[in-house]
């Protein structure tokens, strides 16, 4: 519900802060005092259209902020949106804000973070329903009619069972469509897959052979240079020249000298051993170089083979992946596809049987669901008509239209009929209304706005109160065109509705206002040449005076009548509190 509302520089409202309680809250005041401006501010807060004309004269910006407590029924849905948008989750509360600047720029915020205005509207669908001179009418959204009927009919278990079959059916049909499409292209695809598998398998690939081949290619391509370098190294190590003795001869002489030195100075034995080890290491290097030289291969044919192999690997990588591992994985996948195509006809036959079974199963479930809806539709219509009769709309007719359409590829109903379907079943639901006797039933969305529409909404809300999860309901000018007696009935019904929802109501009838759990007076004041709206919570004597003023002048007779209205409302609400909710 809406717990706090702050408005700044919005139309003739300079600054306003309101705290709201559960139950029924009524707003009273003279025409033009600013009651509807408060409603306009709430509409703006919920993502409605506003422009710079709403900014108070002389101000740079207008701002509206509201804090909402989220009902348990909507908590998961709201949390999912917050998570999707990466917004902070403040538990059971949600803060919405809207700011409009003189340059026409509009800023929306959720929990202090800037968001698109469309997100305010998305949250608003879970928080507030406004009935009156506004476009924010959830019951005028035909898509919601089916869900409201389902909640009224308590068909959730039947709907859940149907949806499980529906999801299974869609999954089977998806696989079937894919297999049938594959079957159409089977001949072409089989040839291609077989060629690809054969090409890769015939290459007899090894995951690590490419590096080995590159190393071998380097040796084969540079065999002459490698042999020359190896021979040169051996010459310096073992052979030497007339001008330069061999390294092994020089190291041998050094080792002999240090050995003689160590015999004289025993403390230098380690130095002699180091020299001997160096001499031994040089001998090992000489043997390894000779072995390497003997294994150097001058083989142009082998070089050509290595080049061809590397070229083959490169072509396979270009066609099937960036590495040999990717090429091998591609071959494995191609073999699996061939296997699937080979057995596709068998799988298609099995899936077709499964599809037929699910079509029949879902058809039976959808028919049962439709029967429950049809039964509930009559009860809903009778309940709404009874409410409308209480609200001085005797003779008004209400109906729930349930339709379905034939579809040769649709669900198979027990009677053999094939009809279109979706995740909600086979029914299209729309509310119809004939406000006056003699008029034909028309879609609810085509009924004109105003007091008549608000009373219709009140009737629907009272009947659907257990089904409707929206916590805050706002009624504007619901008393338009009705008198005091009906106003008392409307007040009573609004108060009853307030037991399940928070209800805000703008009214001119004292008989209705007397039922408010919370009562605000809206007045227009002129100070220092500026017009401003003031809102005051009324209690006791001030409330009595306000109600008397709406009966005419503040006379003793009108004060007595106001007191009587308050007393009657108190008596009736105590009586209603003792009764269980319908």
User: For residue 135, what pLDDT band results from cuts at 50, 70 and 90?
Assistant: very low
Task: Let me know how long the chain is.
Answer: 582
What span, in angstroms and rounded, lies between the C-alpha atoms of 226 and 293? 8
Instruction: Quickly list H helices, 321-343.
Output: 324-342
For the chain, what is the mean pLDDT? 85
Tell me the backbone φ, ψ of residue 293, rounded to 5 degrees: -65, -40
At 446 the pLDDT is 77
445 neighbors 432 (Cβ within 8 angstroms): no
**Strands 113-115 and 106-110, sheet pairing:** antiparallel
At 298 the pLDDT is 74
User: Considering only CA atoms, which of 408, 370, 428 is closest in space to residue 145?
Assistant: 428
What span, in angstroms and rounded, lies between the C-alpha atoms of 125 and 135? 12
- Tokens representing 253 are 């002489």
User: For residue 467, what pLDDT band results from cuts at 50, 70 and 90?
Assistant: low
At 136 the pLDDT is 45
At 450 the pLDDT is 52
Interval 218-231: pLDDT, tens: 777 777 777 778 78
Say if residue 139's pLDDT is above 70: no
What span, in angstroms and rounded, lies between the C-alpha atoms of 137 and 454? 10
| DSSP conformation class of 266 | G
| DSSP conformation class of 425 | B
At 326 the pLDDT is 84
Residue 84, C-beta contacts closer than 8 angstroms, at least 6 positions apart: none
What span, in angstroms and rounded, lies between the C-alpha atoms of 573 and 579? 10
Cα 469–474–478 angle (5° rounding)? Answer: 125
What span, in angstroms and rounded, lies between the C-alpha atoms of 67 and 500? 19
User: Which H or E element spans position 106?
Assistant: strand 106-110
Go through 236-246 and write b for each residue having 16 or more CB atoms within 10 A of its CB, e for each that does not. Answer: ebbeeeeeeeb
User: For residue 166, what pLDDT band results from cuts at 50, 70 and 90?
Assistant: very high
At 466 the pLDDT is 61
User: Considering only CA atoms, which of 576, 455, 458, 568 is closest in space to residue 510?
Assistant: 568
User: For residue 289, what pLDDT band results from cuts at 50, 70 and 90?
Assistant: confident
Residue 260, C-beta contacts closer than 8 angstroms, at least 6 positions apart: none
Interval 242-270: pLDDT, tens: 777 888 888 888 888 888 888 888 888 89
At 192 the pLDDT is 81
466 neighbors 497 (Cβ within 8 angstroms): no
User: Which H or E element spans position 536?
Assistant: strand 530-537
Q: Which residues pair with 527 in a beta bridge?
A: 530
| DSSP conformation class of 438 | T
* End-to-end C-alpha distance for the chain, whole angstroms: 22
The beta strand positions in 11-47, using DSSP E, are 13-19, 24-28
Interval 315-373: pLDDT, tens: 888 888 778 888 888 888 888 877 777 677 778 888 889 999 999 999 999 999 999 99
At 114 the pLDDT is 93
Say if residue 449's pLDDT is above 70: no
pTM: 0.60
Tell me the backbone φ, ψ of residue 418, rounded to 5 degrees: -110, 125
Across residues 16-36, what is the average pLDDT? Answer: 91
- Tokens representing 8 are 């700044």
Three-class HEC string of 164-206: HHHHHHHHHHHHHHHHHHHHHCHHHHHHHHHHHHHHHHHCCCC
Q: Interhelix angle for 300-320 vs 186-202, to 10°?
A: 150
351 neighbors 175 (Cβ within 8 angstroms): yes
């Amino acid at each position: 519900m809406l717990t706090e509302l702050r408005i700044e520089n919005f139309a003739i409202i300079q600054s306003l802060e309101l705290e709201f309680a559960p139950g029924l809250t009524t707003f009273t005041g003279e025409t033009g005092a600013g009651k509807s401006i408060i409603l306009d501010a709430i509409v703006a807060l919920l993502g409605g259209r506003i422009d710079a004309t709403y900014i108070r004269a002389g101000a740079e910006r207008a701002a509206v902020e509201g804090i909402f407590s989220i009902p348990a029924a909507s908590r998961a849905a709201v949390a999912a949106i917050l998570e999707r948008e990466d917004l902070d989750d403040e538990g059971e509360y949600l803060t919405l804000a809207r700011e409009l600047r003189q340059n026409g720029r509009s800023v929306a915020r959720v929990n202090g973070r800037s968001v698109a205005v469309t997100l305010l509207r998305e949250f608003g669908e879970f928080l507030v329903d406004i009935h009156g001179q506004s476009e924010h009418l959830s019951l005028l959204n035909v898509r919601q009619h089916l869900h409201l009927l389902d909640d009224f009919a308590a068909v959730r278990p039947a709907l859940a069972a149907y949806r499980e079959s529906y999801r299974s059916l869609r999954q089977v049909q998806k696989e079937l469509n894919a297999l049938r499409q594959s079957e159409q292209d089977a001949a072409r695809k089989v040839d291609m897959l077989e060629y690809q598998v054969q090409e890769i398998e015939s290459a007899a690939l090894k995951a690590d052979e490419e590096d080995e081949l590159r190393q071998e290619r380097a040796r084969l391509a540079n065999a002459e240079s490698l042999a020359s370098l190896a021979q040169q190294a051996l010459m310096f190590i073992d052979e030497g020249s007339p001008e330069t003795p061999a390294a092994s001869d020089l190291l041998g002489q050094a080792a002999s000298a240090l050995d003689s030195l160590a015999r004289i100075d025993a403390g230098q034995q380690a130095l002699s051993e180091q020299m001997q080890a160096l001499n031994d290491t040089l001998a090992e290097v000489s043997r390894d170089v000779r072995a390497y030289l003997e294994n150097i291969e001058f083989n142009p044919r082998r070089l050509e083979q290595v080049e061809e192999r590397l070229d083959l690997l490169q072509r396979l990588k270009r066609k099937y992946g960036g590495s040999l591992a990717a090429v091998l994985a591609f071959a494995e996948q191609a073999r699996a596809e061939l296997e699937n195509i080979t057995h596709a006809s068998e799988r298609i036959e099995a899936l077709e049987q499964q599809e037929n079974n699910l079509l029949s199963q879902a058809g039976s479930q959808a028919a049962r669901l439709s029967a429950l809806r049809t039964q509930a539709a009559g009860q809903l219509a009778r309940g709404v008509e009874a409410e409308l009769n209480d609200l001085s709309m005797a003779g008004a007719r209400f109906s729930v239209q349930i339709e379905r359409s034939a579809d040769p590829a649709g669900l198979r109903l027990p009677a053999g009929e094939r009809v279109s379907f979706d995740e909600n079943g086979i029914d299209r639901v729309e509310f119809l209304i004939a406000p006056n006797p003699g008029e034909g039933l028309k879609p609810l969305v085509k009924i004109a706005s105003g007091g008549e529409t608000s009373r219709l909404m009140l009737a629907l809300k009272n009947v659907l109160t257990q089904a409707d999860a929206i916590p805050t309901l706002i009624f504007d000018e619901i008393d338009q065109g009705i008198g005091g007696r009906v106003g008392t009935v409307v007040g009573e019904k609004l108060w009853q509705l307030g037991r399940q929802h928070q209800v805000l109501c703008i009214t001119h009838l004292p008989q209705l206002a007397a039922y408010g759990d919370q009562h605000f007076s809206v007045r227009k004041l002129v100070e220092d040449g500026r017009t401003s709206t003031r809102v005051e919570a009324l209690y006791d004597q001030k409330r009595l005076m306000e109600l008397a003023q709406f009966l005419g002048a503040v006379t003793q007779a009108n004060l007595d009548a106001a007191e009587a209205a308050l007393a009657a409302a108190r008596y009736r609400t105590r009586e209603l509190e003792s009764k269980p909710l319908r």
